[in-house]
Amino acid sequence: MSRKQQLLKRHRRNKRIGLMIGLLVLLAVGVLVVWWLPLLLAVLAWVAHEAWFADHLFYSPSDDYDYQLAADEQLALTLVAGRLSLPGTLSLGAGDTLMLKVRIRASWCGRFLDPGVKILGGTADQQDFERGTRGIRYLNLTGQHEALLGGRLQLQGRFCKVAEAVELSVVRHPDYRAQRLLVIAPHADDAELAAFGLYSSAEESWVVTLTAGEIEAEHYQAMGLDRVAAARLKGSLRAWDSISVPLWAGVPQERCVQLGYFCLQLPQMQAAPSVAVPSREADLSDTRYFRRFNAFALGSDADGIASWDNLVADLVELIERIEPQVVVLPHPRFDPHPDHICAQQALMQALTRSSWQPQSLLHYANHLHDNDRWPMGAAGSGVALPPQLASQGPLRPWALPVSDQQQWHKAMSLGMMHDLQPAPPFKRTLRRIIQRYLAARRWPAFGDNEFFRKAVRQHELFWVDENLSKRDNP
């Protein structure tokens, strides 16, 4: 069982215990006071839960974020009347990533409304954090270089107070967009969620999707298809998405590859590398069914066996064919999705066998262990660093600014993805209505899926593999 599953299991167990205690209290109120009062209190308690306590947050909001940033320059600064001033000797490049370590404390209102820090004087932004937050957090100031150097940048707490002592980390990077780019997507839409702004603006981009994403096809069963036909249709649509949607970003079909392995079966494949692992729901064991949109054949098309050995061989073949200078892939620690973990491990295994080595690895996280809402706040805002409660070594973040036009194009690319199109369940829709009016939360107009809020932002955030960079670029 993964750490994410353990956290969810503990969360649900605690919620059941709390529910039982609450029911006992309500029964006692009904016996001792008046019979209808428990019904009213139960409705009010449910509304309060949906408004303020429904987030999956597996840590205390008072915990400090703990990062060792492998910065090229760090400066201890002081906010003066909310204004951030830099020494005149600091020079910033256009591609520099700027992270500001701050200590914030939520107000009383910030326990019920999302606290955040408004960034004024440059590109308007507000980066939100956990309700009741109290501790160290990291603001993303990338893209605010001109306002920062000009002494115009101001921080203003919303439902929180920002301590005057702050620390700026400057992480310098080359322009990865000028290099040949390979994006590894465990599922169709992962490349767009994590890196649409990056791969759409790179000089040459390739997108390789590992699985067809055919499971959980209830939306298509509701149209009258049986379980197998629905899974095959969903997998075919998502395979088509993985080949066709990148064209919206200028990536031609011949630079997009769908490997056709089966969703949530990568861990089982890895456990027995030579064994074929069929789809859970589509009654298929041949990867070629979902590869029919590819512009060229791969070596494993000779047998179509869905095995780990074939997956790694496919990646070796593609690496040596593409010769990428930069590979974009899931982060091995931040992203807990089992297919994402296996995608990263398969790529790393392929690199040990390949005659070609990239110069840099850029890691992304489309999911988190500890906080299902990250990036917090509204669509169109910046991306602060995610929660990390225990540093496990130095990290070099790279934040790519995403323009307003790129954000709109990214939103439209997500709207083309069939897996993000179905309407949310009624309970989630009702929860959003409650949160809109009681918690002042906003959702974007261009899509109902939660990823439209999470992914369409002013930044795309990656972590650079520092050891690989040093090895290949001494």
Per-residue pLDDT averaged across 257-282, rounded? 98
Q: Which two tokens stand for residue 16?
A: 């059941």
Per-residue pLDDT averaged across 234-241, rounded? 98
Given a cut of 50, whether residue 281 has pLDDT beyond it is yes
Per-residue pLDDT averaged across 394-423, rounded? 97
Predicted pLDDT of residue 294: 98
**Lowest mean pLDDT across 8-22, 80-94, 304-318, 345-359:** 8-22
**Lowest mean pLDDT across 17-21, 112-116, 353-357:** 17-21
252 versus 45: which is more confidently predicted? 252
To 5 degrees, how large is the angle CA 392–CA 394–CA 400? Answer: 115
Portion of the chain with pLDDT greater than 70, in percent: 93
Query: Which residue type, as a one-letter code, is found at position 246?
Result: P
Given a cut of 70, whether residue 1 has pLDDT beyond it is no
Portion of the chain with pLDDT greater than 90, in percent: 82
Count the neighbouring beta carbons within 10 Å of the beta carbon of residue 40.
12
Count the neighbouring beta carbons within 10 Å of the beta carbon of residue 257.
26
Q: Which CATH architecture fits 176-367+403-456?
A: 3-Layer(aba) Sandwich (3.40)
Query: Which residue type, as a one-letter code, is found at position 15?
Result: K
Helix (H) or strand (E) run with residue 414 in it = helix 404-416
Burial 331-345 (b: 16+ CB within 10 A, else e): bbbbbbbbbbbbbbb
CATH number of 68-171: 3.10.450, 3.40.50, 2.60.120, 3.90.550? 2.60.120
473 pLDDT tier (thresholds 50, 70, 90):
very low
Entry pTM: 0.92
Dihedral sign computed on CA atoms, order 219, 222, 223, 226: positive
Given a cut of 50, whether residue 474 has pLDDT beyond it is no
DSSP 247: G
Mean pLDDT, the chain, integer: 93
**Lowest mean pLDDT across 126-130, 168-172, 223-227, 423-427:** 423-427
Provide the angle, in degrees to the nearest 10, between the axes of the packed helices 3-32 and 37-48: 160
Burial class (CB in 10 A: 0-12, 13-18, 19+), 183: buried
Please state the φ and ψ torsions of residue 105, each to the nearest 5 degrees: -135, 120
Give 205-217 pLDDT, tens digit per residue: 999 999 999 999 9
Given a cut of 70, whether residue 198 has pLDDT beyond it is yes
Give 308-330 pLDDT, tens digit per residue: 999 999 999 999 999 999 999 99
Given a cut of 50, whether residue 408 has pLDDT beyond it is yes
Let me know how long the chain is.
474
The label of the residue with tokens 């009702």 reads 430
469 pLDDT tier (thresholds 50, 70, 90):
very low
Per-residue pLDDT averaged across 395-400, rounded? 98
Per-residue pLDDT averaged across 340-362, rounded? 98
Per-residue pLDDT averaged across 173-182, rounded? 97
Given a cut of 90, whether residue 12 has pLDDT beyond it is no
Query: Which residue type, as a one-letter code, is found at position 80?
Result: V
Predicted pLDDT of residue 369: 85
Distance, CA of 258 to CA of 207 (rounded, Å): 9
Give 29-58 pLDDT, tens digit per residue: 666 777 778 788 888 888 998 999 889 888
| Residue whose C-alpha is closest to residue 233's, from 214, 218, 216 | 214
